[in-house]
Amino acid sequence: MGGVGVREDKREAAWHAIRDAAWRLFDERGYAAVSVEEIAAAAGVSRTTFFNYFGLKEGVVLDPAPAQVRRLESLARDQPADLAPWAALTAVLVGLVEGVQDDLVTRRRLLGAHPELAHRGRELTDELAGSLRGWMRTRLPQDALGADLLVDLALAAVGTAWSTWPEDAPVTAYVALLGTCLARAAPPWAT
């Protein structure tokens, strides 16, 4: 059993080494000027190893860290069954953002400098939406439409907070904006 934890730690360390090397190279030379081979070399891994962790070059900017995926599962699982659906969804989304605060500024800078990454960001939002819809449907088993609507409203609030977050403002300002947007989007029937 101890081997599994060590193996996961090594995988997580490799994931971060590749991602950090990529972000460093993107800052130095720009996203388009950096190849997967250069990222792999800077991280001290092979091209094959790169693709074991990231399906595409865009993934090093946008893919959630393995710990973040586990955090989503944990946050969803830990919401009390009697908590209103919107409150549970809000807690999960704010918890996810709080877990990646250190990465948000870099991600935003890279996305702003490289608009070609926007399509992948939409794909990841769709993946997150699918996970959240599945979870919310377990909380609202008799109302799949309501579950889907809640997730869509919440993700619209997330997008609004992201797009209105002032460029020179700290991450805490984004977290505050997110809270405000989620509060204002709350449908009365789910609170």
pLDDT of 167 over the 90 cut: no
Residue of higher predicted confidence among 68 and 179: 179
Domain boundaries, given as residue ranges, for the chain: 2-57, 64-190
**pLDDT value, residue 20:** 94
Helix, strand, coil % over all residues of the chain, rounded to 5:
80, 0, 20
Q: 46: helix, coil or strand?
A: coil
Distance CA 139, CA 146 (A): 11
Q: What is the pLDDT of residues 28-51, one digit of tens each?
A: 998 889 999 999 999 999 999 999
Domain 64-190: which CATH number of 1.10.357.10, 1.10.580.10, 3.30.70.20, 3.20.20.60: 1.10.357.10
| Class for the domain spanning 2-57 | mainly alpha
Give the mean pLDDT of the chain: 89
**pLDDT value, residue 132:** 95
Give every CB contact of residue 58 below 8 A, 6+ residues apart in sequence: 117, 120
Q: What is the pLDDT of residues 70-116, one digit of tens each?
A: 899 999 999 999 999 999 999 999 999 988 887 888 888 888 777 77
pTM attached to this predicted model: 0.83
Give residue 2's pLDDT band: very low, low, confident or very high (50, 70, 90).
low
pLDDT of 17 over the 80 cut: yes
Please tell me what DSSP assigns to residue 100: T
